[in-house]
Amino acid sequence: MLRIFKLMSTKYKVLSIFAIIFTILQALAFLLVPTFVSVLINFMANDTINSFSIFIWKIAVANSKEGIKLVSILLVITVLIGTTAGLASSYMAAHVSTGGARDVRNYLWKHLTTLSQKDIEYFSHAKIITRFTIDISRIQMGIISFLRTMIIGPANLILGLTFALLTNLNLSISFGILIPLLVITMIIFGLRLSKLFKQEQVAHDAINTESRENILGAKVIKSYNLEENQLIKFEKENINLSKISKKAWLSFNSMFNIIMLIANLVVVIIFGVGASSWKQTTNIAEHATLIGNINAFTQYTMIVVNGIVLTTMVLFNIYRASISTKRIFEIIDTKPDIPYIKSDKKISNGFIEFKNVTFKYYETSEKNVLENINFSVKPGETLGIIGPTGCGKSTIAKLMCLDFKTSIGEVLIDGNNIQEIDTDSLRTNISHVYQVPTILSGTIKSNLLFAKPDATEDEMIKATQMSCAYEYINRFSDKYEHELEQKGANLSGGQKQRLAIAQGLIRKPKILILDDSTSALDAKTEAIVRNNIKTEFKDANITTVIIAQKISSIIDADKIIVLHHGKISDIGTHNELMERNDLYREIALTQLGGENA
């Protein structure tokens, strides 16, 4: 939990210290109230008293009337100080908890952006979302509990016990019953609750996983009439979470009910001891003092009980926050598999070379996804990659972008190992356009500016014309200011792909990777896009890599790789492969027909 405070800005650390100071002041002020009330009772019951004691301090007064006036003023001042300190502490604690949670959330997000795709997939999207929402909310509660209740609870317990003993030593025998019973109760319920809180976190992860799958897979679920089946799966996880939460809160409430029962029994014991002491008193003054002491002692007993209850609550909150903190730092402590590199080695031409590359996504996997891959692409050339589904085509693209590191061998760009190239240069000079594009909510213009923040209007028009997106954009009344829904839900598949291609082109990269990114386009539009790219970038020496399922997408490439079971079956032009490669010829004849092929 203390590690969280290290992530906060200096402002919140300073406010935390002041919040603790004001909380202690509040606790001390309100702990004096029962003593002042006890003194007032003594003055009102006996008008012959000319002095009073506040613990070790004895104060003389002219008469009981003056004593009542002085004690009343002191009581009001004490309450005002306690209230003001409490309000100040609450404000500061709330400011620290919300601002601190924001700092943690920002730090977590910044670190998350440094992680590789492999690192993110290790945690899973659902668990990461849980850490940003539920876990940080619990940390926020833990911070405010630490700054407020963590001070008030123990202060009430320790100081209340001390003040009670100073008030009347005989009545303090009741604590010999109270404290052991309360400690035993808290240990029994504490062990049970700690187990339930851990189970609750796991159940939340499961709920988030199910929710995410159902949202992302809504179309598939509806098309196969799987609503009932998915509902049953979700209800199972939901019921499990409800059961665990119910058990936790029942245990929590049962514990506090038992604590209050014990406290009330102790009050009965206090009055029993007081009744016994009453018989031993001989005059009105002693009776008045005893009544005041019993009243003060009863209040201090409830303060002690309140201190135990608050301490228990804060320990549970901090325990839950510590679990969440541990989960947060699981991500923060993860060193990026692919670190951010500042280097003099930059992309200048876009010459790509794969040397003896072998790769598998997980070290425990038995089979390699790619095996002994060797090829090169010169600046200005177009490389086509084709092969059956699952043969590793997109994996080659991911290795070109350094989304993953090679298991064996190396990927070189302009003669430099890709893992040693400056990260900014790598990201700026490679445009990877995916089959399923990621369109963010906002306008068409804002999505284009994500790719190149300083793009001019002319550059946006040029890029969209090349990708054949210009025509449909102009059909919108607000054109480039047209609002897009999340994931571009108000665009068709082809429109999204054309916008994504425009994003890739507007950067004018050294390397352009089209990863099956024209799959939703008709043959005519696809041909126009390919021709536009070839014509416009003719003198720019851009290295183009086209990954496709369709022969028509790569037929004009300078060289084509035929990939099969993660290995290169052959490399050549369309005509060369038609002559010598059976797999390529089979794909071509199936798609194009004998005459066109």
Q: What is the CATH number of the domain that holds 238?
A: 1.20.1560.10
Residues whose CB falls within 8 Å of the CB of residue 369, separated by 6 or more in sequence, listed in order = 359, 360, 361, 392, 395, 566
Token digits of residue 415: 């003669």
Tell whether 434 and 328 lie within a shared domain: no
**423 located within any domain:** yes
- DSSP code at position 336: P
Residue-number span of the structural domain to which 400 is assigned: 352-438+510-592
Q: Mean pLDDT of all residues in the chain?
A: 85
Q: SS3 for 55?
A: coil
**140 located within any domain:** yes
> Number of structural domains, the chain?
2
Say what the pLDDT of residue 574 is: 93
Nearest to 395 by CA among 367, 360, 363, 421: 360
- Tokens 């507007």 label which residue? 506
Tell whether 103 and 200 lie within a shared domain: yes
Tell whether 311 and 222 lie within a shared domain: yes
Where does the pLDDT of residue 396 fall: very low under 50, low under 70, confident under 90, or very high at 90 and above?
very high
**230 located within any domain:** yes
Tell whether 254 and 300 lie within a shared domain: yes
596 pLDDT more than 60: no
More confident residue, 170 or 210: 210
**495 located within any domain:** no
**Phi and psi torsions of 366, nearest 5°:** -75, -40
| CATH number (domain holding residue 410) | 3.40.50.300
Tell whether 551 and 409 lie within a shared domain: yes
**496 located within any domain:** no
**488 located within any domain:** no
Say what the pLDDT of residue 207 is: 83
Say what the pLDDT of residue 594 is: 57
167 pLDDT more than 80: no
Tell whether 269 and 418 lie within a shared domain: no
In whole angstroms, give the CA distance from residue 430 to residue 21: 55
What is the pTM assigned to this prediction?
A: 0.69
Query: Among the three residues 333, 362, 379, which one is the final residue of a domain in this structure?
Result: 333
In whole angstroms, give the CA distance from residue 558 to residue 566: 22
Tell whether 207 and 167 lie within a shared domain: yes
* Segment 473-528, tens digit of pLDDT: 999 999 999 999 888 888 898 999 999 999 999 989 999 999 988 888 888 998 89
Query: Among the three residues 288, 306, 333, which one is the final residue of a domain in this structure?
Result: 333
273 pLDDT more than 80: no
Say what the pLDDT of residue 280 is: 61
For the chain, the residue count is 597
Residue 441: count of CB within 10 angstroms of its CB: 13
More confident residue, 591 or 430: 430
Tell whether 150 and 284 lie within a shared domain: yes
Tell whether 378 and 280 lie within a shared domain: no
Where does the pLDDT of residue 303 fall: very low under 50, low under 70, confident under 90, or very high at 90 and above?
confident
Tell whether 21 and 58 lie within a shared domain: yes
Among 12-16, 28-32, 418-422, whose mean pLDDT is lowest?
28-32
> Which stretch of DSSP H or E encloses residue 431?
strand 430-433
Tell whether 72 and 124 lie within a shared domain: yes
In whole angstroms, give the CA distance from residue 498 to residue 513: 14
Say what the pLDDT of residue 563 is: 94
Amino acid at 249: W
Among 279-288, 371-380, 445-454, whose mean pLDDT is lowest?
279-288
**492 located within any domain:** no
Biggest alpha carbon distance in the chain?
124
275 pLDDT more than 70: no
Tell whether 306 and 427 lie within a shared domain: no
**111 located within any domain:** yes
